[in-house]
Structure 1
Amino acid sequence: MEIKSTSVLPSRYDDFLYAVICEDGNGTQISVVSALARLDVDPWEEAARLDEMIGARAQKRLISMLDRMSGQNWMDDQKKAVASRLVGLLPTSRARSNPMPGSEVSIELLVCVAIFWGFLLATAALTYNDHKTSAVAESHASITPPVQNPSASSDVRIATD
């Protein structure tokens, strides 16, 4: 007989929820789902809440939960390491840490592109202005008759003796 799962709980959080946090005094592994249940917190709601947070905030929240749920004496480094590992298992955190190639653009690149386009626009504006100025000068030159030297005569006389 085949048994089908009828769970309506989102499976996207399984990696996070079933990750082992630590072992209790009896050698039993404590998972995130069991730790959250011990704190009387709905594991799937909390996973969704943590998944919406930025990594550092989610880590702080997990650290505070670790302090409350386990009777262990955690060192700060251990708590940070466990919280960091667990946050990395959340679907959104994984997507952030493994972006598609080219999907993450740095501020420096954006500034360089903005400077480049600014340079191009300034060059185009100056070139257009220079072209417009020379076109105006040429049109004035074709309208205005050339200035003649008043001492020079336009009549050419041929001397005959």
Structure 2
Amino acid sequence: MTEFSGLESQYDAFLFASLSETDEVTLSVLSLLARQDVDPWQEAARLTRLPKDQAINNLAAKIWKSNSERWSPSEASIVAARLIELLPSHSHVHSSPLWAGDNTGRLTFWMVTWMLFMSVAISGHNIQKSTSDSRALASSVSAAAQEHAVTGSSR
């Protein structure tokens, strides 16, 4: 089992969420996982790292396994989808958009902006260089054509 100092409150909403309630008992995710001899906090952390669909399927299997007479596979999936939304990485709020108030978001924004600026600057320089190279080539072709015309008319 997890040591008490290692318990992570970020999983509390998920672990203490109710799966079902009867007159006598409320079954929480924590009690469901403990009954299956699974460390609830480790499982919450594992589910957080999984892609959302895979996390839902994993939790639904545990719910169905806990009482297949009570839950149909589709009911277990519906409940699991609701519960997975309570995990930090699977909630609707994105963790760090480019415009976030934290320093990481700000740094990301300015790095992307700088890279775009440099790309435009390099592209502009290359276009300018190729245009001047084209003009130089055109003037040398023009000079060669004039020279050829002069030498051809003098014959």
Establish whether TM, by shorter chain, passes 0.5: yes
SS of equivalent residue, structure 2 residue 150: coil
| Aligned match of 1:133 | 134
SS of equivalent residue, structure 1 residue 147: helix
SS of equivalent residue, structure 2 residue 60: helix
| Aligned match of 1:64 | 61
Residue identity in the other structure for 1:18: F
2: distance between equivalents of 1:63 and 1:133? 66
| Aligned match of 1:112 | none
Select which of 49, 54, 73 maps to 2:46. 49
**1:4-19 alignment to 2 at 5 Å?**
7-8=4-5, 9-19=7-17
SS of equivalent residue, structure 2 residue 30: helix
Backbone CA RMSD of aligned residues: 3.4
Select which of 75, 78, 85 maps to 1:88. 85
Q: Percent identity?
A: 32
Residue identity in the other structure for 2:21: E
Q: Is the 8 A contact 2:34 2:40 kept in 1?
A: yes
Q: Where does structure 1 lack aligned partners over 5 or more consecutive residues?
A: 1-6, 104-116, 152-161
Give 1 or 2: higher helix fraction. Answer: 2
Q: TM-score, structure 2 length as denominator?
A: 0.64
2: distance between equivalents of 1:138 and 1:71? 85
User: What is the CA-CA distance between 1:139 and the residue it aligns to?
Assistant: 4.5
| Aligned match of 1:98 | 93
Max Rg structure? 1
Residue identity in the other structure for 2:93: N
Equivalenced residue count is 126
Decide which moves more: 130-139 or 31-40.
Answer: 130-139
